[in-house]
Amino acid sequence: MTTASDDSFAAELRPFRIEVPDAELDDLRDRLARTRWPDELRDVAWSRGVPLHYLQELAEYWRTGYDWRRHEAMLNEYPQFTTAIDGATVHFLHVRSPEPSALPLIVTHGWPGSIVEFQNIIAPLKNPRAHGGDPADAFHLVIPSIPGYGFSGPTRDTGWTTNRVARAWAELMHRLGYERYGTQGGDWGAFVSAELGRVDPDHVLAVHLNAATMGFIPFGPVDADELATFTDDERARLERLSVSTAGPGNGYFEVQANRPQTLAYALSDSPVGQLAWIVEPFKEWTHHAEHPDDAVDRDQLLTNVMLYWLTNTAASSARFYYENMHVGSWNQQPGTTPTGVAVFAEDYAIRRYGERTNNIVHWSEFDRGGHFAAMEAPDLLIDDVREFYRPFRVHGS
């Protein structure tokens, strides 16, 4: 890994501002206008993928109603930086609290998410005093883009696994001068956050996760005797997990884990293709949503899609699946860092499995929200993160 002592330029934290050329926005609108649409069978709804009428309406709004410049300006309100770590460009938001005793917290997204996921939770976590909360619950927030995603992409070499990202995050927090800090993440961010507790235990105070899977779910079929001890909620999660991993909803995983380059040609050339690829999991993984934008804000959803399109990271974000599925072994040692898990209504995590390899000290279950908790149920996520970290606060971090 590149360190400050190895290469002073690589260790430099460079201010960053999002400034997309007008030509790229004109090209996007032109491509959307010239979309070659497929046909569709009648009365199949979402059973075979994203319905034609829904995607046409959403794409037209993207072309004529969505205002990227407004959302670009909103993102640019957050201090942003890039730095080089282990051969990759790492882009991150660094949002410091006005509270001097705030706890540093590094927050990691997953797929098909991005830093855009966290727009609804940044201000309340940074400045609870201004949002009806206790100032003692404040956080200094570091929100990076995983290498290969958004402005941290594309990656230029193989081997970017969750372990390598966790080691990069440890170096990033070191460069920022944070001696003790917490972690939070969902989806791939849950993998990275838990791994960060393993690779940097002397500095990570605690780990908070949502949308947790590997290490928190059964690996293979559940024995009948064990299944007989399941609660109704555990049975429901196991059923959702079985449908997700064994059914057509797992197609995205199989393609990205095995043929990411082939997929990338379509997604990199067609904005509607990229839109459909991201919209479908937003439909499938959110809670009781007829359409994705019933669960999350439509403009926030499109801004998330824009980060994939504008940075042309369909290939490198998909490669993250390939790298992790072909690493040979996850080689996860049991974690000793205190860990909290928030289980939203559409999540799969089952406590008895999490306790086998994690030091679970906090477990919350909610009857709403889903995979994209920071977008769907930000109030629940904010409250749970605040509650979990109260015992771990170190003044003057």
Q: CA nearest 51: which of 113, 308, 43?
A: 43
User: pLDDT-based confidence at 333, cuts 50/70/90?
Assistant: confident
pLDDT at 330 > cutoff 90: no
Residue type, 79: P
Active-site position among 71, 91, 140, 371: 371
pLDDT at 96 over 90: yes
Q: Verify whether residue 347 is a known catalytic residue.
A: no
What is the number of residues in the chain?
397
pLDDT tens-place string over residues 104-120? 999 999 999 999 999 99
pLDDT of amino acid 86: 98
User: Of the listed 321, 322, 348, 353, which one is catalytic?
Assistant: 321
The chain-wide mean pLDDT, for the chain, equals 94
pLDDT of residue 394: 63
- The pLDDT value recorded for residue 243 is 84
Residue 190 has pLDDT above 70, yes or no: yes
Q: How confident is the model at residue 334 (pLDDT cuts 50, 70, 90)?
A: confident
**Per-residue pLDDT band at 179 (split at 50, 70, 90):** very high
What is the pLDDT confidence band of residue 10, given thresholds at 50, 70 and 90? low
Segment 279-325, tens digit of pLDDT: 999 999 999 888 999 999 999 999 999 999 999 999 999 999 999 99
Share of the chain above pLDDT 90, in %: 89
Whether 395 sits among the annotated catalytic residues: the reply is no
Q: Between 190 and 219, where is the model more confident?
A: 190
**Cα 126 to Cα 139: distance, rounded to the nearest angstrom:** 5
**pLDDT at residue 254 tops 60:** yes
371 is catalytic: yes
Confidence band, pLDDT 50/70/90 cuts, at residue 220? confident
Residue 66 confidence class, pLDDT cut points 50, 70, 90: very high
Torsion sign over Cα 233, 239, 241, 243: negative
How high is the pLDDT of residue 329?
Answer: 63
- Catalytic residue, candidates 86, 187, 200, 299: 187
Closest to 291 (Cα-Cα) out of 40, 35, 55: 55
Which residue type, as a one-letter code, is found at position 23? Answer: A
Per-residue pLDDT for 3 more than 60?
no
Mean pLDDT over 342-352 rounds to 97
